[in-house]
Each structure stands twice: as structure tokens, then as C-alpha cells.
Amino acid sequence: MPLHLIIDADDTLWENNIYFERAFEEFVALLGHSRLDAAAIRAVLDEIEVMNNRIYGYGSRNFARNLQQCFLRLAEREVRPEDLEAIRLLGERLLDHPMELIEGVEETLAYLHPRHDLVLFTKGQQDEQRRKLERSGLAGYFHHTAVVKEKDAEAYRRLVSDLGLDPERCWMIGNSPKSDVNAALEAGLRAVFIPHDHTWTLEREPLREADGRVLRLSRFAELREHF
């Protein structure tokens, strides 16, 4: 019987966080702090992002806003308009970063598409995430697409209800312990965890106890062996 395979986008289907990490490295160089290293600056930025993500959500422009606030908090000199503009452009550039598909993704989606109900479920800004999907060339493999502000347990429950899915036949597939695995488990779904070396630090947390409801794979292509 066909299953509902709910699939994450960023860092599951295509590379994403590596470009944010590179933008952060440029930000650290622009800030040029005399005492704080990159890890200490990242800790301040994480604090700002945790607070702002609840209000503004995710995405490249919001990331640039967070960087600007971090710069204003940590700068050891007078902040010039050109400094803030340079940071804004970091975010704008992220909107057009290369769409680098993760190895085996397209072939695996082509295999799964006629066998199961594929749902793309991602968080962020609607226009940005949908544009990435179109640029990736993968849109045709999905029967449904949903972009939400936050992927928590309630968001999964809404998705299941809105699409009329059977929770017992739903598997969430992704790289984030927080948003893809734990939130789906809390909503009563099953999950496939595919780690990524560059998963965003704020998405990392221990996996919930799952009583056999989590499948751990090392590569996206391994889905063909299980579904």
C-alpha cells in the first residue's frame, strides 16, 4: 500500500547551510572583532536568531537582519551605513546560491514518485522556498508542497489534517533532529533520519525515544532499499 513520504528540502534534497556558513565567515571578517573568535560570535548570533525566528521566521533576508543586529551589538567602532548594506547584500546573495542537489536525490525521487505519495514539507519564506524548489528541477516529483513558518508538532498535525493523510502511513524524511524527526514523532508520525555534516546548530538535539518508529540512514539514496 502506498505510503505518505513527507520530505524536507534544505540539506535533505539540496545543499543549503554551507552557503549560510560561508556568509557567516564573511560577516566575521567584516566585524573584525579584536577579542571574540568565530565561535563566540556565533553564540551571540544564535541567541539573536532564537529570539527573532519566533517573530520573523527563517530565510535569507531574516538571516541578514539577524546579522545586522549582531553587528550592532558587537561592533567595536562606529557602525556605518555601508556596513549594514554590506550585510544586507550577504542575505540577498543567499537568495541565488547554487542549487546543488545532494547525491542520489533525483534518482531516488524518480523511483519513489510512482510508488508513494510524496509531500515536500519545508519551513521558511514562501517565495524563497518555492523558488528554490523550482530552480532545483524537483517540483514535478511531489504530489503536494507545503511551506510553513515553523515545523513543530502542531504544524505536522495541520499538514496531516489538511491533506487528509493517514498518520499511521506517514514517514517524515529529513536531516534535522529537531524539526524533521522529533517534531514528527511528537505528532504521532514515523521518521527517517538522514544526518548532514552541516546541519544548522539550532536544529541539532538528541533524538526522542521512538520505539522503533525512526529509521536511520546514511544517504538519501538508501530510501530505495526501504520504500
Query: How is the chain split into domains, by residue range?
Result: 4-14+100-225, 17-94
- The C-alpha cell at 107 is 534518482
Please tell me the pTM assigned to this model.
0.93
CA 136, CA 138: separation in Å to the nearest integer? 5
**Per-residue model confidence (pLDDT) at position 83:** 95
Quickly name the fold that domain 4-14+100-225 has: Rossmann fold (3.40.50)
The CATH number of the domain covering residues in 17-94: 1.10.150.240
Using alpha carbons only, what angle is made at residue 101 by residues 25 and 223, rounded to the nearest 5 degrees? 120
What type of residue sits at position 50? V
φ, ψ for residue 224 (rounded to 5)? -65, -20
CA 124, CA 1: separation in Å to the nearest integer? 32
Report yes or no: 120 and 146 within 8 Å, Cβ to Cβ.
Answer: yes
**Per-residue model confidence (pLDDT) at position 54:** 85
Report yes or no: 151 and 123 within 8 Å, Cβ to Cβ.
Answer: yes
* Predicted confidence pLDDT, tens digits, the chain (227 residues): 899 999 999 999 999 999 999 999 999 999 999 999 999 999 999 999 999 988 888 999 999 999 999 999 999 999 999 999 999 999 889 998 999 999 999 999 999 999 999 999 999 999 999 999 999 999 999 999 999 999 999 999 999 999 999 999 999 999 999 999 999 999 999 999 999 999 998 999 999 887 889 999 999 999 999 99
Q: What element of type H or E holds 127?
A: helix 126-136
